[in-house]
Amino acid sequence: MPVAAARALERGRAAFRGRAASHILPRARLGGPMPWVIAIMVALTVLAAGGAIAMANLAAQARSDLSGGVTIQIVEADPVLRDAQARRTLAALDTLDIVQARRLVPEAELEALIEPWLGGGVRSEAVPLPALIDVNLAGTADARALAELRAALGPVAPDARVDAQAQWLGPVFDAISALRWLALGLIALLAFTSAAAVWLAARNALNANRGTIEVVHLLGGTDGQIARIFQRSAVIDAGLGGAVGLVLGAVGLSVLGAQFAALESGMVAGGGLDFGDWLLLALVPVAGAAIALLTARMTVMASLGKMP
């Protein structure tokens, strides 16, 4: 009798192993809201993560391009004196080893820069424009390099103002950093929301199948075997929803990227996504499935532990 009972118990437990276990607590995976909720969460996460990566790329590219950039302004109302100081400045820059390249910005280009604010037809006679010289240093435009430039230009161009180009974009970099942290906070919030959705779905499934679970317990099924049933269902739902969400998020990022590319701005162009970035975004559904798996297991195990 003990041998027969042991065999019966083993046969009862065998039904809870492998793919057959998924049919003990049947549910229509695509009929419920779970895959679509996860799809929405993954799509939003991909958009937020893609935006954060693009902003990080943009900031890194801008800092790299402007690290050695210096702007020299000759602020003098008299055009004759201004031109003379500009020529002396160019000659002095040619003698400095730290200067890699320099360019005197044409007056027509300066007028085009201020035209959006002052309107067309602006001439230097009406609005005195400073002489502008773009300088590229061999190294970084740090405080030491700026001090050397000011010391060299002081005697020949007393009205010269030397500024690092990266300093002008300091507020822009701060805004980009704030947006990146906001995107990371949104990703964390979406991950928490996804875990809460899985937790709620698992609790509802447990309550709906409580009678069946009690029978499974009587037949010798363990909490771990029952938990694997819910884990498998949660991973499948998360995988289906994650795939759909990844496609939606990728389409959204592509549309946004095309819109920004149409601006034809050099700075914005540095914020694109490369192949490695897309591979990183492809891991978002994998992370979503892992969250669903762990949440489902912890929820089911905690609930089963409270059952008599």
DSSP string, the chain: -HHHHHHHHHHHHHTTSGGGGGGTS---TTTSSHHHHHHHHHHHHHHHHHHHHHHHHHHHHHHHHHTTEEEEEE--SSHHHHHHHHHHHHHHHHT-TTEEEEEEPPHHHHHHHHHHHH-TT--TTTSPPPEEEEEEESS---HHHHHHHHHHHTTT-TTEEEEEHHHHTHHHHHHHHHHHHHHHHHHHHHHHHHHHHHHHHHHHHHHHTHHHHHHHHHTT--HHHHHHHHHHHHHHHHHHHHHHHHHHHHHHHHHHHHHHHTT--HHHHTT---HHHHHHHHHHHHHHHHHHHHHHHHHHHHHHHH--
At CA 68, angle to CA 65 and CA 73, rounded to 5?
A: 105
Q: What percent of the chain has pLDDT over 90?
A: 10
pLDDT beyond 50 at 11: no
pLDDT beyond 80 at 7: no
- Taking alpha carbons only, the member of 65, 56, 60, 133 closest to residue 99 is 133
pLDDT beyond 70 at 136: yes
pLDDT in tens, 238-294: 888 899 999 999 998 888 877 776 665 555 555 678 888 899 999 999 998 898 888
pLDDT beyond 60 at 158: yes
When pLDDT is averaged across residues 207-221 and rounded to a whole number, the result is 71
Q: How high is the pLDDT of residue 18?
A: 43
DSSP code string of 201-227:
HHHHHHHHTHHHHHHHHHTT--HHHHH
Would you place residue 29 in the very low, low, confident or very high pLDDT band (cuts 50, 70, 90)? very low
What is the pLDDT of the chain when averaged over all its residues? Answer: 78
Q: How high is the pLDDT of residue 22?
A: 45
pLDDT beyond 60 at 19: no
pTM flag (> 0.75): no
Q: Classify burial at 207, counting beta carbons within 10 Å of its beta carbon; exposed 0-12, middle 13-18, buried 19 or more.
A: exposed
When pLDDT is averaged across residues 138-147 and rounded to a whole number, the result is 81
Q: How high is the pLDDT of residue 80?
A: 86
Task: Look at 68-82, 131-145, 219-233, 262-276 and tell me which has the smallest mean pLDDT.
Answer: 262-276
